[in-house]
Amino acid sequence: MRLSTIVDCATRALPADFLEPPGAQLNDLYLIVHSGTGAQAGCLLLPT
């Protein structure tokens, strides 16, 4: 599974009538990189 697929699925809208405002996210998405080719180690909070 690719990282882009994981991020896409985790940030999709959830149709629900209890979210205020409509379309609000229920999670905060963090990406922690320990090592990887072309990636700088650290923590990144992705804006929602």
Structure confidence by residue, pLDDT tens digits, 1-48? 688 888 888 888 778 888 788 777 777 777 777 767 776 777 666 665
Write out the DSSP string of the chain. Answer: --HHHHHHHHTS----SS-SSTT--S---EEEES--TT--SEEEEPP-
Residue (of 23, 29, 33, 35) closest to 48 by Cα position: 29
Q: For position 48, what pLDDT does the model report?
A: 54
Q: For position 37, what pLDDT does the model report?
A: 73
Q: For position 17, what pLDDT does the model report?
A: 82
Domain enclosing residue 27, as ranges: 3-45
Residue (of 1, 3, 47) closest to 25 by Cα position: 47
Written as six digits, the tokens of 47 are: 């804006």
Looking at the structure of the chain, the number of domains it has is 1
